[in-house]
Structure 1
Amino acid sequence: MKLTNLFALAILGILAACGNEPKPPGDSSLNPSTQDAALTGTSPGILGSFVGDFGTNKITLLITKVLKDTIEGRSVVGGNDRPFIGLVTKKDSVYNIDAREPGDDKNDGAFKILYKESNKDVVVGNWVPYKETPQLKAKQFSLSRKSFVYSKDVGIYPQASQRLLKDDDVNNLTKWELEVMRNEIFARHGYCFKKKNLRETFEDRDWYVPHTTDVKNLLSDTEIKNVTLIKKYEKYAEDYGDEFGR
């Protein structure tokens, strides 16, 4: 049996055993027999990457697989990259998706998503956390289709991904400017930041699409060397900033 199928069975088994877990509003079960209709044909348009506001953060919702009435994907938001699995039903040209994250992370919850063939570039819906807290509440969203594309040419400091930096490129920058320059390298690769100040810095930029929480194997040799150089100057700015009035 494929690992994907084992994962699916495990998740559905956990959900069946945990009947007291919160469910999305209006959802009675993840059993297909309780849904309006069985999925008889799936538009390829339902697959893809959808991006938009998710409370105060930006989320990327990736729908990666639909097999019969089972749907799989990932949500990338707030420094977290979480898989989800669930059921999709179709009535006329409207798809209803009920999907759940595994539940082994305190930020996990359940999605209820609506997708219409008449508007293939948008999904709308809500998300409900399994354990609501003052910091973690239900959210509504409207996301637009947008795929991650790596580009060396975006950002305030694109040279940090284009060529090896020299001392003259960084020695007159403030500590914050250096931090932005360094983290732009990660942002170009779609890194989803945990730090709130960095999320706020990048999430309002049109080119930025949070796509992953691990970019270690994505950086070029040039970018790796530039990160090392920038960090050295960040440390210098931290140690000697007051002395030099920076």
Structure 2
Amino acid sequence: MKKALALVLVILVISCKKEKSEIATLNTNEDLNTELYGNWVGDFVAKVYDTTSNFVYVNKINIVIKKIEGNKVFGQSIVAGNSRPIAGEFKQVADSLIFTMKEPGDKKDDGKFEFSIKNNVLNGTWFSNNKKQAVTQRTFKLKKQSFEYNPNLMLPEDEAYIDYYSEKIDTIVETQTDSTTVPETYYQETYRSAGDVITKINSSTKKLTENDLKNLKKLELEILRNTIYARHGYTFKKKSYRQFFDSVEWYIPVSENVDAKLTALEKANIKLLERFEQYAEDNYDSFGR
């Protein structure tokens, strides 16, 4: 009887050790994947599209990997003002990790992401669920980029800030010196533009005054206000705003709503900027594309 009891105890001890070993192995495998967690950021480029439709050729996208459990993956896709949960699976093929992740599918812009991660680069293709969309495939090559709010971030000084979504067509009539010649008429595209004041004034750190804003154009006021939101990682729905931030290296879209993150100073400046925007005007000039 004693021998039988001792044998049972030995079996139980071995079984417990084996179970703990298996759990430890599983935990070790999970820990090996935590370096994949975070923001993968870069260009979301149209690959298959309807050339007769109106769409943005390149947007900035953030694919967030939040959790990996076994071969299951959970995350978020953030692009063009949309933040969507994504979920799927991954497997290891040679020295690459291959992922397939889907958005829920209850919105017309949802689709499927297929990508690999190798040498700290996330590379893949997005396929639209709706084949009648203007863009049905986009490609992306993303790099890991951490987000941290920094009120001192500024727009680059060496850029031309032109709102290419504000196109107006002006009719130009050239008068002739010869009164017998019919005047020549042609059409010229004109756009709103912002001066370098938007790279000088920091609307997140300086309390703005009426004197700071009274001579600014409407577009300049809009950019100063939206730079506050960009610093907090707001994802812009409006194409006319995205064009100024998507190409900026420090800008990472992380949220559809950052109101709770705004400082008291930023909130006060936003109110003042919005008040001036109501009455400000813009000049339209011609620019090369």
Specify the TM-score bucket, using the shorter chain as the normaliser. 0.7 to 0.9
Q: Percent identity?
A: 36
Contact preservation (8 Å) 1:170, 1:178: yes
Corresponding residue SS for 2:271: helix
1:101 and 2:103 are equivalent in the alignment = yes
For residues 211 and 145 of structure 1, do their structure 2 counterparts lie closer, same or farther at Cα, with a shift above 3 Å needed?
same
Which of 51, 71, 80 is residue 41 of structure 2 equivalent to?
A: 51
Corresponding residue SS for 1:237: coil
Which of 58, 70, 73 is residue 72 of structure 2 equivalent to?
A: 70
Unaligned runs of 5+ in 2: 1-28, 46-57, 155-198, 284-289
Deviation (angstroms), 1:237: 1.0
Task: Map Cα deviations across residues 11-35 of structure 1 (whole Å, 9 max, x no partner).
Answer: xxxxxxxxxxxxxxxxxxxxxxxxx
Contact preservation (8 Å) 1:129, 1:136: yes
Deviation (angstroms), 1:151: 1.0
Corresponding residue number in structure 2 for 1:211:
254
For residues 98 and 158 of structure 1, do their structure 2 counterparts lie closer, same or farther at Cα, with a shift above 3 Å needed?
farther
Contact preservation (8 Å) 2:33, 2:68: no
**Higher share in strand:** 2
Contact preservation (8 Å) 1:192, 1:213: yes
Distance 2:243 2:136 in 1: 19
Distance 2:231 2:85 in 1: 22
Corresponding residue number in structure 2 for 1:115:
117
Deviates more, 1:45-54 or 1:224-233: 45-54
CA RMSD of aligned residues (A): 1.6
Corresponding residue SS for 2:83: strand
Contact preservation (8 Å) 1:123, 1:142: yes
Unaligned runs of 5+ in 1: 1-39
Larger radius of gyration: 2
Corresponding residue SS for 1:137: strand
Corresponding residue number in structure 2 for 1:128:
127
Distance 1:133 1:216 in 2: 35
1:154 and 2:163 are equivalent in the alignment = no
TM-score by length of 2: 0.65
Corresponding residue SS for 2:136: coil
Runs of 4+ in 1 over 3 A off after TM superposition: none
Task: Map Cα deviations across residues 165-190 of structure 1 (whole Å, 9 max, x no partner).
Answer: 11111111100000000111101101
What is the aligned residue count? Answer: 198
Q: How does 1:140-179 map to 2 (within 5 A)?
A: 140-155=139-154, 156=199, 159-179=202-222
Corresponding residue SS for 1:209: coil
**Which residue type is aligned with residue 208 of structure 1?**
Y
Corresponding residue number in structure 2 for 1:231:
274
For residues 80 and 152 of structure 1, do their structure 2 counterparts lie closer, same or farther at Cα, with a shift above 3 Å needed?
same
Deviation (angstroms), 1:137: 1.6
Corresponding residue SS for 1:159: coil
TM-score by length of 1: 0.76
Distance 1:211 1:173 in 2: 30
Corresponding residue SS for 2:74: strand
Task: Map Cα deviations across residues 121-171 of structure 1 (whole Å, 9 max, x no partner).
Answer: x10011101112342321111111112221111122552101321111111
**Which residue type is aligned with residue 64 of structure 2?**
L
Task: Map Cα deviations across residues 31-81 of structure 1 (whole Å, 9 max, x no partner).
Answer: xxxxxxxxx664322222111110210101110100111100001001100
Corresponding residue SS for 1:82: strand
Corresponding residue number in structure 2 for 1:196:
239
Contact preservation (8 Å) 2:234, 2:254: yes
Contact preservation (8 Å) 1:65, 1:71: yes
Distance 2:86 2:42 in 1: 18
